[in-house]
Amino acid sequence: MTITGPAGLAVASAGTTTLGADSALFGNVVSVGNVTLNARANVQGNVTTQASFFHQTPYTIAGTLSTSTSVSPLFDQVLTVEYPASSTPLNVEPNQVVSASPGAYTSLNLKGGSKLTLSPGDYFFDSATLESLSELHVSDATRPVVLHVKDQFTMRGSLPDA
């Protein structure tokens, strides 16, 4: 598979970063912990780690490999999320098609075959699960949709136009 796109920060990890065999990543990797590339892993960008680099062979790093390199120049960002109170789940049953507005929900559950369209804005969930064959759409791709998930997040559905 040919992957094209702009180089940039694709993966940033505060811990370790692992790319599996035959994985391909177009972008840069910045990792505080070790970076491991398994066989035939392909990074079309730079790899920077504050720790060590491990790999199987063969592997590809098209850009620069930097180990034991401080990543401190990147901005130290505090993220604070305050979850509003809610008692309403957002459950979409199989083959159901619904829309939702920004707000707080106890959970997000998209069953197989369901479709949910979100308006731009902030959504707050305790947990989120998108089952296989579910679809999550956005009504306006030009404006951001932010989903805050307090804990468990599993995504097996598709995001066709996210």
Partner 1 sequence: MLWIVSGTSGVEIGAPLTGTVIAPNADVRLGPTNGGPHHGAVFAKSVAIEAQSPFQLVPFSGWEQLLRPITPPDAAPSAAFRARWVYPNGQPIESFSYGPAPSGIHALALGQPGEAPTTSLSFEIQNLSSSVGGIPVAFSVTMKTWGFGNLYFDVPLRAADANHILQPGGIETVTVSNLAGTLGVKASDMPAKGDIVVSLFKVANGALAPTPFAFLCIPQFFYHFSDDLTQVFTYSLERASDQLAPSGMVAKDGVVERYAQGVFHANLFAPNGKLGDITAEQGRQNLLTTFADRPAQLFGIRWDAAAAGGTPGAVVPPGAAVGPNAALFNPADGPTGVCASWPTIYVDSGDEPFPPKSENEFKNIVDFLPAAFNHAQLFNADGTLIADEHLNAAGCFNDKKPLGKGNYLLRVFSTNISNNGARFDVTRFEPPQVEGKQKDVSVTYAVFLAQPGKTAPAGDTFNVTTGMWTETTHLTAFASHLLARDAAGVDFGLTRGTAATPKTYPIRRQHRLLEALQTPEGSVRRGQHHEGRTARRSRQRSRLAHLLPRTHHQYRSPCQRGRSIELVHQRLRRQLPHHVRHLPKLS
On the question of a cis peptide bond just before residue 58, with omega within 30 degrees of 0, the verdict is: yes
Looking at the Cβ atoms of 34 and 91, the one nearer to partner 1 is 34
Q: Cβ closer to partner 1: 33 or 91?
A: 33
Question: What's the closest the beta carbon of residue 107 comes to partner 1, in angstroms?
Answer: 13
Q: How far is the CB of 77 from partner 1 (least distance, A)?
A: 4
Our CB check for partner 1 shows the closer of 91 and 147 to be: 147
Instruction: Name the pairing type of β-strands 35-37 and 53-55.
Output: parallel
We find the least distance from the C-beta atom of residue 124 to partner 1, in angstroms, to be: 9
Query: CA 121 → CA 65, 77, 104, 140, 151, distances in Å?
Result: 38, 21, 11, 10, 20
Contact 72, 119 (CB under 8 A): no
What are the CB-based long-range contacts (under 8 Å, 24+) for 54-61? 56/21, 61/37
DSSP, collapsed to helix, strand or coil, labels residue 139 as coil
Q: Which is nearer to partner 1, 22 or 93 (CB)?
A: 22
| Minimal distance, residue 120 CB to partner 1, in Å | 9
